[in-house]
Structure 1
Amino acid sequence: MKICIACGMPMEKVSDFPGGDETKDYCIYCARPDGTMQSFEEKKVGMVEFTMKSQGFNESAALKITLTSMKKLPAWKCYFQG
């Protein structure tokens, strides 16, 4: 089983991969409609919105939670170095 490099979601089924392409290291939720991976900013906005909606946090708290999570993910490590 793969883990999405951009959000950490376990990818267990073919439908979890963009276009069903199991060679991708990111999940369907981290892909653009054309199958390419979302940018850091696109993913950050999406994760903040998801955190607010699913967990009831305000935007400031959701941003803090999102950035803490993103720091741990392989796709975004370069954004937090230095």
Structure 2
Amino acid sequence: MKMCIACGMPMTSLGDYPLHDMSKNYCKHCAHNDGTMKTFDEKWQEVALRYANNHHIDYSIAKHTAYVILKKLPAWKRKW
């Protein structure tokens, strides 16, 4: 099973891949409509918003948490 390099999501079916392209190493949630991968800043904002809403915490705390999580993933390691 492949894991998304940008968010860590398990990719277990064709529908998990952007444009159903199994050659991609990132998931549909980390892709733009054209299939290209989103930037770190785009994912950071999305993850932080989702985390804040799902866990009912302040956005600044969610943003820090999202940063800590994302920077450990393969797509973003070269950024540090």
Please give the range of the TM-score, normalised by the shorter of the 2 chains. Answer: over 0.9
CA–CA separation in structure 1 for the residues paired with 2:75 and 2:30: 11
CA–CA separation in structure 1 for the residues paired with 2:55 and 2:64: 13
Aligned to 1:3: 3
- Per-residue CA shift, 1:2-23, capped at 9, x if unaligned? 0000000000010000011111
Task: Using the aligned pairs only, state the percent identity.
Answer: 43
AA at the equivalent of 2:72: K
Q: Aligned pair count?
A: 80
Aligned to 2:53: 53
Counting only pairs closer than 5 Å after superposition, residues 1-82 of structure 1 correspond to structure 2 as 1-80=1-80
Q: Which runs of 5+ in 1 are unaligned?
A: none
AA at the equivalent of 1:32: H
> If the length of structure 1 is used for normalisation, what is the TM-score?
0.92
> If the length of structure 2 is used for normalisation, what is the TM-score?
0.95
AA at the equivalent of 1:22: M
Q: Which runs of 5+ in 2 are unaligned?
A: none
